[in-house]
Amino acid sequence: MGEVLTKQQLQDALKKQKAPHKYHAEGCVVDGIRFPSRKQARRYEELKLLVRAGTIKDLQIDNLQTTFRLEVNGQLICRYRADATYQENGQLVVEDTKGFRTEAYQLKRKLMRACHDIEIREV
């Protein structure tokens, strides 16, 4: 017969189990960086190649995400964390790897345009 767990041990074990991602994304680690989806990790690999080729520079990615404050009339509404930022042809590119466009993301995309005059590049 198997081991009998106490109620507390069972609760602790259940807490340790990770809930599946609500959009069924599977996380992974590349170069010691944890990505919430394989799609985002693949894009990171592509961006690294573009850096090596000299096409882009100053790449900031995932755990080093750039956060933008989205303020209206001096009041903080929310923050937007970019999946990646880099310089391309002397211009700042803010990039988001999208599998699904949530309402919150769509609003933040509009606020980025209004507050910072930045168009988010979706891949």
Answer yes or no: is 68 within a domain: yes
Answer yes or no: is 9 within a domain: no
Mean pLDDT of 76-103: 93
Answer yes or no: is 6 within a domain: no
The model's pTM? 0.75
Question: Which residue's entry shows tokens 């910072």?
Answer: 116
Radius of gyration of the chain (CA): 19
Range of the domain at 26: 20-122
- Side-chain-facing half-sphere of 11: CA atoms under 13 Å: 3
Report pLDDT digits (tens) over 17-53.
555 655 556 788 888 888 888 999 999 999 999 999 9
pLDDT of the residue at 54: 96
Q: Which residue has the higher pLDDT, 22 or 9?
A: 9
pLDDT of the residue at 66: 84
Q: Work out how many domains the chain is built from and give that number.
A: 1
pLDDT of the residue at 100: 80
Answer yes or no: is 7 within a domain: no
Mean pLDDT of 95-104: 89
Mean pLDDT of the chain: 86
Q: In sequence order, what are the beta bridge partners of 61? A: 84
pLDDT of the residue at 68: 94
Neighbours of 50 (CB within 10 A): 14
Residue 51 and residue 59 in contact, taking contact as beta carbons nearer than 8 Å:
yes
